[in-house]
Structure 1
Amino acid sequence: MEDRLGPMPFAAMSAAQQVAAQAVIDGPRGALYGPFVPLIRSPELMAAAQKMGEYLRYRSAIGTRLTELAILVTARQWNQQVEWAIHAPIARDYGIGEAVIAAIAARERPAFVLEDEALVYDFCLQLHQRQRVDDATYAAALAAFGEHGVVDLMGINGYYTFLAMVMNAAQTPAPSSTAAPLSV
């Protein structure tokens, strides 16, 4: 597949694009990569997206381990190779087990050891596949994470779906990774 919206040299960017790109480069990501490569074509959209993503990825109310799990479920639902290549190793580093990651990649329900991981998985899968969350799962998530955490979990699913749509349409190539590519 051809990368439809590949990297742009910084010098070729408009002033607005340079400002938006520099904000990403100066932030916790440290570089313009992944979804921000195609998004730079719309600097205001990219700036808004990266600000939301910075919060959801690095400071969500459910914590980094569960955030990374939600990202993997979303990446799998959208067959999103870039997000999988980036986030499967990060999820592993934050304590998501290799068996859980492999099961998600295979579209199988993992044999969870931790209840909070099973809850996040169920919540995310229902939201993606049914476009809603059943009462029992919602109540369990509310009890475990509070309203703030539940809203952040919904936001993580929505944000990473947005990124998946952008990169799937742009045909953004996955970076090299220790994670095996998703089968599609």
Structure 2
Amino acid sequence: EFDDPDQAIVFEVAVALHVDRKISDDLFDRAVAQLGKDTVVDLVGILGYYTLISMTLNVFEVPLVNADGADEIRLMPELAEGTLVFGRNTKSP
């Protein structure tokens, strides 16, 4: 449950897009009424970008590490340096 109606509709749209790969006309109309058309367009774009990134990380099995006992998980430094050997058997040109 969300106290903020904007958060509730964003969550509903996100779940529908990731589960059904589309949203119903009713949900679209409610989202536009609640958030505005421009925000719905932005939301769909952000959700698509999230999917792109998560698929890429999953396909190449990019590992995550918990650096120095920190509470948050960060991408390995090798990824930023371009020296990461992916989990999948990839070959450099």
TM range (shorter): 0.5 to 0.7
Q: How many Å apart are 1:175 and its aligned residue?
A: 4.0
**Residue of structure 1 in register with 2:13 after alignment:** 123
**1:26-175 equivalence runs, <5 A:** 111-175=1-65
**1:129 is paired with a residue of what secondary structure?**
helix
Structure with a larger share of its residues in strand: 2
**2:16 is paired with a residue of what secondary structure?**
helix
Q: How many Å apart are 1:136 and its aligned residue?
A: 2.0
Structure 2 unpaired stretches of 5+: 74-93
Aligned residue pairs total 70
List, as ranges, runs of 4+ consecutive aligned residues in structure 1 with deviation greater than 4 Å: none
Q: How many Å apart are 1:130 and its aligned residue?
A: 0.8
C-alpha distance after superposition, 1:128-150 (max 9, x if no partner): 11111112221111112222111
Q: Which has the higher contact order (CA 8 A, sep 6+)?
A: 1
C-alpha distance after superposition, 1:54-102 (max 9, x if no partner): xxxxxxxxxxxxxxxxxxxxxxxxxxxxxxxxxxxxxxxxxxxxxxxxx
- Whose radius of gyration is greater, 1 or 2? 2
Q: Give identity over the alignment, percent.
A: 33
Structure with a larger share of its residues in helix: 1
Structure 1 vs Structure 2 CA RMSD? 1.8
Structure 1 unpaired stretches of 5+: 1-110
